[in-house]
Amino acid sequence: MLIDNVTLKVKAGAGGTGVVRWRREKGIPYGGPAGGDGGKGGDVYFRVIRDIQALSVYKHKQEWDAKEGEAGQKRSMHGGNAEDLYLQVPLGAVIYNREYDKTYECLEEGDFVVLRGGKGGLGNEQFKTATNRAPEEFTKGERGEFATFDIELKLIADVGLIGLPNAGKSSLLNALTRAGAKIGDYAFTTLEPNLGAYFSYVLADIPGLIEGASEGKGLGHKFLRHITRTRVLVHLVSAENEEVGKVYTTIREELGKYDAELLNREEIIVLSKIDTINEKEIKAKVKELEKASKNKNIVTLSLYEDKTVKEFGDGLVQLLAGSQ
């Protein structure tokens, strides 16, 4: 199961405590203060990796703490700094820091710091003065920063396959990429996005949308967000639908309500499952889609006809190569 949103409570490490120590050396009966400072607490980093399953690590553990710095030592020795904490997130994640009202978009692999560890405390050597030659003072290390992070994944793909449930999106993805997506003759077969690679381009099968998805109905916002970062939308409309124009318009309205910019995205309209109707019906449904979409380049497709699948795949590659 794809985990695409989590909430984590994360704390950077506290600094180590400074200590009270004294010089004890032969020939120096009254040695001065020699308490070392504490080490710095561990920082917290997010590490962006190319793995959409990265958030699954946090399914059973939502609280993470970086280590504390070591306490100061005798002979004025500084306590060791703590190791930093690295939390992995997938490429495409959006991270919101509730405490600092700050959002991070993870569009490149690499590390970035989000919380700083506390400074180490001061040992008694730091408090020595001309009038206080045997100080007992020391300070504890500072606390590390703390925050609650809301993390959600937005897939980064070249192509997003969209449409009503059971429009044939998973079947098309399998035909092109051998992704092994689950298919079936019932709505919502796909309950999480499936990815496949086609001539180095990433295709994402976005689970079926329904009327009201922009308000959260059906699978709602859970999957609409995965469409926002696709370069090209392939909109499949099943020939099994009585009113294909209305079906197309319904999905377009939901996209626009969620994010109006999606309506300007490059779009390929596909009348799928044409093997279920005759030639006369195919022509009628193509005309209906042309009228609804104002697009005269409707693609017809049957997964039982290798020729139509190949023609679609070739055209898709040409479009993607030309839009880079």
pLDDT band at 25 (very low <50, low <70, confident <90, very high): confident
Residue 89 has pLDDT above 70, yes or no: yes
What's the pLDDT tens digit per position in 98-113?
A: 999 999 999 999 999 9
The span from the CA of 182 to the CA of 179, in Å, is 9
Residue 116 has pLDDT above 90, yes or no: yes
Burial 302-312, CB ≥16 within 10 A → b, else e: bbeeeebbeeb
The crossing angle, in degrees rounded to 10, of helices 306-322 and 169-177 is: 80
pLDDT score recorded for residue 184: 41
In the chain, the domains with their CATH numbers are 5-153 (2.70.210.12), 157-322 (3.40.50.300)
> Quick one: which of 164, 155, 158 has its CA closest to 177?
158
DSSP-derived secondary structure for 181-243 = ----SSTT---S-EEEEETTEEEEEPPPP-TTGGGT-TTTHHHHGGGTTEEEEEEEEETTSS-
Percentage of the chain modeled with pLDDT above 70: 88
What separation, in Å, do the N-terminal and C-terminal C-alpha atoms of the chain show? Answer: 32
Write out the two tokens for 277: 């109707």
Which one-letter DSSP state was computed for residue 323? T
Q: Name the pTM for this structure.
A: 0.69
pLDDT score recorded for residue 179: 54
Q: How many CA atoms lie within 13 A of 67 on its CB side?
A: 11
The span from the CA of 149 to the CA of 165, in Å, is 32
Phi then psi for 7, rounded to 5 degrees? -125, 125
The span from the CA of 18 to the CA of 118, in Å, is 13
Q: Which residues contact 111 (CB under 8 A, 6 or more apart)?
A: 45, 46, 47, 48, 86
CB atoms within 10 A of CB 64: 14
Average pLDDT of the chain is 87
Lowest mean pLDDT among 4-8, 254-258, 278-282: 254-258
> Quick one: which of 166, 146, 140, 151 has its CA closest to 9?
146
- The amino acid present at 273, given as its one-letter code, is K
The span from the CA of 150 to the CA of 160, in Å, is 25
Residue 199 has pLDDT above 50, yes or no: yes
DSSP-derived secondary structure for 244-294 = HHHHHHHHHHHHHHH-GGGGGSEEEEEEE-GGGS-HHHHHHHHHHHHHHHT
Phi then psi for 59, rounded to 5 degrees? -60, -40
Residue 187 has pLDDT above 70, yes or no: no
